[in-house]
Amino acid sequence: MPKGSSHKVESGESLYTIAKKYDTSVEKLKDANPQLESDNLQLGEILALPKGIAKHDDEKLSKTERKKIDKLQKKLQKHSVASGESFYVIAKKYNISVEELKIVNPQIENDKLDVKDVVFIPGTEEIAVKEKKGREEKKKERESNRIENTEEKTNNVDPVVSVVHEVSPKETKYGISKRYGISIAELEKLNPQIVNGLDVGQKLTIKGAAKGDEVVTTKEVVVSNDTNETASTSTTETTEGKLEVLPLSADVAMKADFLIEKASENLGVRYRGGGTDKNGFDCSGLMFSTFKNIDMTLPRSSSDMAANSGVKIDKSQAQKGDLIFFATRGRWVGHVGMVTEVLDDEIKFIHSSTSSGVIISSTKEPYYAKRFVQINRVLN
C-alpha cells in the first residue's frame, strides 16, 4: 500500500484521466509509481499520488459548499443503486462523466456504493422539476376528482331521480304506480291532489323513476351462490326497458381484451366449487380472479354479481367484457360468464362449467339460450 495519498483505479480509467482528475501530469504519476510497466491499468489497482497532491475526497467541504450541494441535490433526479452498479456504470447510463457524478455526490465515502444507495444525477434539474410538476398535477387531479365525486354523491344520493309524469287518458293510479315501481300510497303522498281521483293532463311528481326512463320495481326473488348456498333477498329488476349505455371507449375496449386474454389463460382448467385459482374455478371464482387483474373486486357469487355489479343493460347492447348471467337452478341466477365476442345474433362467453371446466360457449347453444337472464356492464 503506497504511503501518503493514493487512488484506486476504477473501470474505464487511464493514466490520463487520473492525472487530469488530480491536476497533475502523466509523467509525475509514472514517477510516483515506478512499478508500472505500461500505461495499461488494472481495475482496483492502487496508485500513489505525486507528493503534495491530496485526494479530492480527503478535502473537507466548507459549510457554504455543503449547503450549495444540498440545495442542488434537491433539484436533481435520484438514482437508486442496483446490484453491481459503480460510479462508472451509472455515469455511462446517464451519459455523464464519473467526475461530474462524484462532484454532486460527496456523501458517498471512498467511492463505495451499496445497493439502494441514492445517487444524484447532475444535469437533471429540468427533469426533476417536470417530475415534481407532474406529481403536483396528478395530486390536483385526484383532489378535483374527489371533490367532484363528493358533489355527485351529495347531489345524487343514488342513480334514481324525481321525474314529472303527465296523466294520459284511461290511466289509473294502479297503472302509474306499477309503471314507476312505487305504491299507490307513496304516489298519493307525493301528489295529495289525486287522492279523490285522476284528471287527464295532471302533472304528477314521481320519485323513484330511474335515469334514462328506466322503470324499476322491487320484488322478492330467490338467489343462490356457486357453492350451493341459497338465500331469499330483495333485489331490483328492470321491468320496462334496460338502461341505455354508450359503446365501449377505445381504452375500455383494450381493458376488455386484456381481461379476455387473462381469462383465456385458464382454458381447460377443471371446475372446482369455491375455486379461484388454477387448481380449479367455479363460475364466479373465474370472474372474481380475472377482474382482480385490473384491481376490480367483484362479489363472490353469481347472484350477488347480477344484483350488485355494474348496470343491467339490454342484450342488444352486449359487448366484450360484460358479465352474462344464466338461471341454472330453476329461476335462480346461478351461473356467470364474461362476454368474449358479439356477433349478429350470437354472444360468445368464457366461463367455468361444472362438466368441462373453463371453456368458451355460445348463447346459441340450447342449454344457455333457454336459461339466459341478463347482461351487466361492469367496465366503464
Instruction: Compute the distance between CA of residue 320 and CA of residue 252 in angstroms, rounded to an integer.
Output: 10
3-state secondary structure of 186: helix
Please tell me the predicted confidence (pLDDT) of residue 212: 36
What local confidence, expressed as pLDDT, does residue 213 receive?
36
Strand partners, 339: 349
Q: Residue 221: pLDDT above 70?
A: no
Spell 293-307 as b/e; 16+ CB within 10 A means b.
eeebebbbbbbbbbb
Q: What is the reported pLDDT for 106?
A: 84
194 or 66: whose pLDDT is higher?
194
C-beta separation of 339 from 375 below 8 A: yes
Give the tens place of pLDDT for each residue, 224-248.
Answer: 334 333 333 333 333 334 566 777 8
Cα 55 from Cα 53, distance rounded (Å): 7
Is residue 141 pLDDT above 60, yes or no? yes
At which residue does the C-alpha cell 495499461 appear? Answer: 40
pLDDT of residue 270: 95
pLDDT at 164 over 60: yes
The per-residue pLDDT for range 73-97, each reduced to its tens digit, is 888 888 999 988 888 888 888 888 8
Give me the amino acid identity at 53.
I
* Domain residue spans of the chain: 1-59, 160-213, 230-377
Dist CA 316 CA 163 (whole Å): 27
The answer to whether the 1-59 and 230-377 domains have the same CATH topology is no
Asked if residues 225 and 284 have their Cβ atoms less than 8 Å apart, the reply is yes
Report how far Cα 238 is from the mean position of its chain's Cα atoms.
31
**Rounded distance, CA 111 to CA 37, Å?**
26
Number of Cα atoms under 13 Å in the Cβ half of residue 141? 6
What is the average per-residue pLDDT within 208-233?
A: 36
230-377: CATH topology is endopeptidase fold (from Nostoc punctiforme) (3.90.1720)
Q: The pTM is what? A: 0.41
Q: How many helices (H) and strands (E) does the chain have?
A: 12, 16
Q: What is the mean pLDDT of the chain?
A: 79
In CATH, what number does 160-213 get? 3.10.350.10
Q: Determine phi and psi for 56, rounding to 5 degrees.
A: -60, -35
Q: What digits encode the pLDDT tens for the residues 254-301?
A: 899 999 999 999 999 999 999 999 999 999 999 999 999 998 999 999
Q: Which residue has the higher pLDDT, 176 or 338?
A: 338
Q: What is the pLDDT of residue 140?
A: 74
Active-site positions read 283, 335, 351
DSSP 41: -
More confident residue, 52 or 363: 363
- The domain made up of 1-59 has a fold known as Membrane-bound Lytic Murein Transglycosylase D; Chain A (3.10.350)
* 113's grid cell: 456504493
Mean pLDDT of the region 338-360: 94
- Nearest-angstrom CA–CA distance, 253 and 128: 34
Length of the chain: 380
| Mean per-residue pLDDT, 43-65 | 71
Interval 151-160: pLDDT, tens? 444 444 444 4
Which has the higher per-residue pLDDT, 105 or 132?
A: 105
| Alpha-carbon span 62 to 50, nearest angstrom | 25
